[in-house]
Amino acid sequence: MNESAQHHRNPPFSKALPSPIYFRVADMPAHATYPQHSHPWGEFVYAFSGVMEIKLRDRHLLAPPQYGVWLPPALEHRGLNRQAAVHGSLYIAEHLCAALPKTCCALVVSPLLRALLDHLRQHAPLQSGTGAAHRLLQVSVDQLATAACAGSYLPMSQDPLLSPLLQELEANPGDTRSLAALAGSRHTTERTLMRRCQRELGMSLAEWRKRLRVVSAMPRLHAGDTVENIAHDLGYNSSSAFIAMFRRMTGATPDEYRKGSTLA
């Protein structure tokens, strides 16, 4: 993936957390990045607006607003965002991570967890201690422990056949070539390409391309671009076709998403 980070941010804590559970919010300009690092505590990253990306050595995860990314303790990672984003991080001491996933994954954010995160954002930074703040943070951790794991919203692959194709599609989300044409461009068959996608991505290429278009549309919607422009650039013949796809994938129309992300 081509990256052009212009703003480098240092992780906020290097040796210890201020408290066993701690929540902070960060406003990230476009093309910002956190360097490769790890820490002895867990971290849940949630994007209130925009899309945060987490890169591991062998995987690439994205956190659009319906999902957050869980990073277990001691996992090397780095964060970046291509468009401006506002994200929150819930840091959890290692001894409180027993009920949380053992591996990095995207977690589905339920309406209750979203409401808790919105409340935490209004009061950030917030640390556990005693009283109401401690109880609220603990409930948030409990919600994470029961959240459905979605793997990676937009998985990538190091497969020599798939990797260059996915990078090519990511650079041009509006590419409308058929599966047969894409397979031909890689000198392989449709069947082989379908098998590789299921094995490496856990989904069909058609599903992956829809997710790519959703992720590509989100920052543009947040920035105020028109649905018509976005639909055209993403290869749709009509705005209604794009709106229908976006709603199926996210549960909201583009305008509903825009209003929600503006209020977030």
Query: How many domains are there within the chain?
Result: 2
205-222 vs 162-171: helix crossing angle, rounded to 10:
30
Same domain, 94 and 26: yes
Task: Give domain status of residue 235, yes or no.
Answer: yes
> In the listed set 146, 170, 194, which residue is the last one of a domain according to the structure?
146
H-helix segments, the chain: 111-123, 131-146, 162-171, 179-185, 190-201, 205-222, 227-233, 239-250, 254-263
What is the pLDDT at residue 82?
81
CA 67/CA 63 separation, integer angstroms: 5
Please tell me the least confidently modeled range out of 1-5, 93-97, 122-126, 127-131. Answer: 1-5
| H or E element that contains 28 | strand 21-28
Please, what is the average pLDDT of the chain? 90
Mean pLDDT in residue range 31-40: 93
**CA-closest candidate to residue 143, choices 120, 168, 169:** 120
At residue 4 the predicted structure's pLDDT band, cuts being 50, 70 and 90, is low
At residue 1 the predicted structure's pLDDT band, cuts being 50, 70 and 90, is very low
CA 240/CA 217 separation, integer angstroms: 14
Same domain, 42 and 96: yes
What is the pLDDT at residue 2?
41
Same domain, 90 and 211: no
Contact 169, 212 (CB under 8 A): yes
Give the domain range for residue 22: 7-146
Contact 116, 136 (CB under 8 A): yes
Task: Give domain status of residue 1, yes or no.
Answer: no
Q: How far is CA 148 from CA 17, 114, 232, in A?
A: 27, 14, 34
Place of tokens 């070539």: 177
Q: Is 84 exposed, middle or buried (0-12, 13-18, 19+ CB in 10 A)?
A: middle
What is the pLDDT at residue 63?
75
What is the pLDDT at residue 83?
81
Task: Give domain status of residue 239, yes or no.
Answer: yes
Please tell me the least confidently modeled range out of 5-19, 64-78, 156-170. Answer: 5-19
Place of tokens 């994470």: 144
pTM: 0.75
CA atoms within 13 A on the CB side of 198: 6
> In the listed set 113, 146, 179, which residue is the last one of a domain according to the structure?
146
- Model confidence over 184-235: pLDDT tens digits? 999 999 999 999 999 999 999 999 999 999 988 988 888 889 999 999 999 9
Mean pLDDT in residue range 3-23: 84
Contacts of residue 260, defined as CB under 8 A and 6 or more positions apart, other chains included, come to 65, 252
Task: Give domain status of residue 151, yes or no.
Answer: no
What is the pLDDT at residue 121?
95
**At 53, which CATH number?**
2.60.120.280
